[in-house]
């Protein structure tokens, strides 16, 4: 076989993989577009559902939940953003299935068993984080933001001894509200991926439980910075985010520790670990299997016999 034929034979599997990747991507794009179109037809009910945290806070303050469009095209772009988010969520199971079918043939059986649980846990943890952001964090954030309004109980202007009466009432943009709400949902959904990410890294040996414990103080600082960047300048919301993410970090340490115990037990069962490796060298009895040491021992015995 010539060198040219060998190159052509080696390139054939690559071309097949690229063709399969192209087909998977086409299916994923079509599924996403179908989900987006479906969500576009019901974009108004979805947007009304997303406004529940704001409307609840306004209702508690005795205000109407009124959002405005500050440009003629803003309503259309709001519907597009709602459709993009809804289409991604709606088509995610199919997208994940396409990714799995492309990756799975190249994995060993044990690798499939290790990767599949994390693929299933990732969307669950994202949904958990998004729900926490929508039902807990977002109402607290808007409660803080709307506290800077200035008006009386009946909506009248607040009198000021040094200036004319002033009324500062919230009239929010629908697009700005949607952007901020999506920011909260995506940020908390990604933060809740921490146990999944660290456990997967521990599964492949990139991190260890002892290593995570040793950098705990740096993790605290990083989580505090994350809380300051993601949440509004509200101490209560920042504390909630810090407590949640730090709790997830501690859970990650426990999960990585369990993974290490299971891996060590499996290696012991397969004979890769020796129980004698766990014995303290100071407590172990000396062994004289070295031929050089044995020769010295024989010389000592001969000298002792001569002295006698």
pLDDT in tens, 240-262: 888 888 898 888 889 888 888 88
Say if residue 21's pLDDT is above 90: no
DSSP string, 210-274: HHHHHTHHHHHHHHHHHHHHHS-S-HHHHHHHHHHHHHHHHHHHHHHHHHHHHHHHHHHHTT-S-
Say if residue 126's pLDDT is above 70: yes
Is 256 a member of any domain?
yes
Question: Each residue of 174-190: pLDDT tens digit?
Answer: 988 998 888 888 888 88
Say if residue 18's pLDDT is above 90: no
Is 177 a member of any domain?
yes
Element (H, E) at 279: none
Over the Cα atoms of the chain, what is R_g?
32
Is 78 a member of any domain?
yes
Is 139 a member of any domain?
yes
Domains: count for the chain:
1
* Better pLDDT: 31 or 171: 31
Say if residue 215's pLDDT is above 60: yes
Six token digits for residue 228: 């300051």
Determine the pLDDT at residue 47.
92
Is 97 a member of any domain?
yes
Determine the pLDDT at residue 295.
53
Is 281 a member of any domain?
no
The Cα 99–Cα 20 span in angstroms is 11
Q: Which domain holds residue 191?
A: 13-106+115-148+170-270
Is 284 a member of any domain?
no
Is 298 a member of any domain?
no
DSSP label of 2: -
Q: Which has the closest alpha carbon to 70: 173, 171, 176?
A: 173
Question: Each residue of 134-169: pLDDT tens digit?
Answer: 998 888 888 888 888 776 555 554 555 455 556 777
């Amino acid at each position: 076989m010539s060198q040219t034929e060998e190159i052509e034979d080696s390139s054939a599997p690559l071309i097949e993989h690229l063709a399969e990747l192209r087909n998977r991507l086409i299916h994923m794009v079509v599924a996403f577009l179908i989900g987006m179109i479906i969500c576009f037809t019901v974009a108004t009910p979805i947007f009304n559902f997303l406004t529940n945290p704001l409307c609840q806070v306004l209702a508690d303050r005795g205000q109407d939940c009124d959002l405005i469009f500050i440009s003629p095209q803003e309503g259309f772009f709001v519907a597009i953003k709602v459709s993009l988010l809804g289409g991604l969520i709606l088509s995610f199971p199919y997208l994940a299935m396409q990714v799995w079918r492309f990756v799975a043939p190249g994995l060993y059986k044990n690798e499939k068993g290790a990767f599949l649980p994390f693929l299933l846990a990732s969307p669950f943890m994202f949904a958990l984080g998004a729900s926490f952001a929508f039902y807990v964090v977002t109402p607290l954030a808007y409660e803080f933001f709307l506290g800077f309004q200035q008006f009386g109980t009946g909506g009248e202007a607040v009198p000021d001894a040094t200036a004319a009466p002033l009324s500062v009432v919230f009239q929010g943009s629908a697009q700005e509200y949607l952007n901020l709400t999506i920011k909260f949902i995506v940020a908390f959904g990604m933060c809740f991926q921490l146990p999944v990410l660290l456990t997967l890294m521990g599964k492949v040996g990139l991190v260890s439980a002892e290593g995570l414990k040793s950098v705990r103080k740096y993790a605290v600082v990083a989580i505090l910075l994350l809380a300051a960047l993601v949440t509004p300048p509200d101490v209560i919301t920042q504390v909630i985010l810090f407590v949640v993410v730090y709790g997830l970090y501690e859970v990650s340490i426990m999960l990585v520790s369990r993974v290490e115990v299971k891996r060590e037990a499996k290696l012991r069962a397969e004979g890769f670990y020796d129980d004698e490796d766990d014995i303290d060298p100071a407590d172990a009895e000396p062994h004289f299997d070295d031929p050089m040491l044995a020769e010295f021992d024989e010389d000592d015995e001969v000298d002792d016999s001569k002295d006698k």
